[in-house]
């Protein structure tokens, strides 16, 4: 169960010269249990800041965010995070990277490895479990990072442009893989992206944000069956609608 409620969240960053930057302003929306929601908006609109607040890595200035009714005040294994950079420990093999969070929870090493192997197989890296990050492609490293996050069995998986550094073909493949994992694990996903195509292919809803300070411009329902053809008329119409929302923000900045 992973229901996230975001209520009137604002975030103001104070600078050393006593000036301030308002990153988020009165952001409110809910994410249902098992829902896949994408955050989309202009660069600098606060998407990553909001994700980091949900993860407990940043504090909010005002408002409240809850997971299953409990306010979020810091990091917790119930909320997994996958970053744009692969963030694997270079001195650890794939399986040792995936077991890291389990070890931090005090789980027995043998049990941790058994548990980790299940998720390594889920992301298609069974043959590479003893490989080091430098021996893997970018896409494989990100698979390992996803396995590490899933191994903690979070209720919510937060993803900050996890495929942004990958080539288009690898990105499309991993999008399909991510949907397969989501359908199997029924985890709630909150996914930051700059790609309209990615948001339309992946999400149940797209939260379109305004230019800074980030507010909710519109929440777009993606009422299309999966798997979605990237070139279907329905997908193209939805893509055009979201692009127009973003263009409005570009001209209003």
What percent of the chain lies above the pLDDT cut of 90? 78
- Confidence bin at 109 (pLDDT 50/70/90): confident
- Residue range(s) occupied by CATH 3.40.50.300 in the chain: 4-78+155-252
- Asked whether the beta carbons of 122 and 184 are under 8 A apart, the reply is yes
Cβ atoms of residues 202 and 195 within 8 Å: no
Locate the DSSP E strands across the chain. 4-14, 20-31, 36-40, 62-67, 70-71, 79-82, 156-160, 188-192, 205-209, 216-221
- Mean pLDDT across 220-229: 93
- Once rounded to an integer, what is the mean pLDDT over residues 157-171? 91
> Of 81-90, 111-120, 148-157, 200-209, where does mean pLDDT reach its minimum?
81-90
Would you state the pLDDT for residue 1?
A: 72
Q: What Å distances lie between residue 172 and 164, 176, 178, 228, CA to CA?
A: 11, 6, 10, 12
At the second CATH level, the architecture of 4-78+155-252 is: 3-Layer(aba) Sandwich (3.40)
Angstrom distance (rounded) from CA 164 to CA 179: 17
pLDDT band at 253 (very low <50, low <70, confident <90, very high): low
pLDDT at 104: 84
Q: Sign of dihedral through CA atoms 182, 184, 185, 186?
A: positive
Compute φ and ψ for 25, nearest 5 degrees: -140, 115
Distance CA 174, CA 42 (A): 24
Q: How far apart are CA 80 and CA 75, in angstroms?
A: 9
Q: What digits encode the pLDDT tens for the residues 23-42?
A: 999 999 999 999 999 999 99
Q: What is the pLDDT of residue 251?
A: 61
pLDDT digits (tens, 9 = 90+) for 41-65: 999 999 999 999 999 999 999 999 9
Average pLDDT, the chain: 92
pTM of the complete model: 0.93
33: tokens are 């249990």
Bin 63: left if φ > 0, else alpha if -120 < ψ < 50, else beta: left
Tell me the mean pLDDT in the region 202-219. Answer: 96
Question: Regarding predicted confidence, which is higher, 164 or 128?
Answer: 128
pLDDT beyond 70 at 252: no
């Amino acid at each position: 169960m992973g229901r996230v409620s975001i209520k009137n969240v604002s975030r103001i960053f104070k600078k050393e010269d006593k000036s301030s930057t308002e990153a988020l302003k009165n952001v409110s929306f809910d994410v249902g249990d098992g829902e896949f929601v994408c955050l989309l908006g202009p660069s600098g609109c606060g998407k990553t800041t909001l994700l980091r607040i949900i993860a407990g890595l940043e504090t909010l200035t005002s408002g409240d965010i809850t997971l299953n009714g409990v306010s979020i005040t810091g990091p917790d294994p119930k909320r997994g995070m996958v970053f744009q950079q692969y963030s694997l420990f270079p001195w650890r093999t794939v399986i040792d990277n995936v077991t890291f969070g389990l070890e931090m929870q005090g789980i027995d090493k043998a049990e941790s490895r058994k548990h980790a192997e299940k998720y390594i197989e889920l992301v298609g890296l069974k043959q590479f479990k003893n490989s080091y990050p430098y021996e893997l492609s970018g896409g494989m490293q990100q698979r390992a990072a996803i396995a590490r996050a899933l191994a903690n069995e979070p209720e919510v998986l937060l993803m900050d442009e996890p495929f942004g550094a990958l080539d288009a073909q690898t990105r499309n493949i991993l999008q399909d893989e991510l949907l397969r994992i989501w359908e199997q694990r029924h985890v709630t996903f909150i996914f930051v992206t700059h790609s309209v195509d990615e948001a339309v292919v992946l999400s149940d809803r797209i939260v379109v944000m305004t230019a800074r300070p980030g507010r909710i411009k519109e929440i777009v329902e993606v009422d299309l069956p999966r798997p979605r053809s990237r070139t279907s008329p329905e997908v193209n119409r939805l893509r055009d609608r979201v692009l127009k929302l973003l263009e409005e923000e570009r001209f209003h900045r």
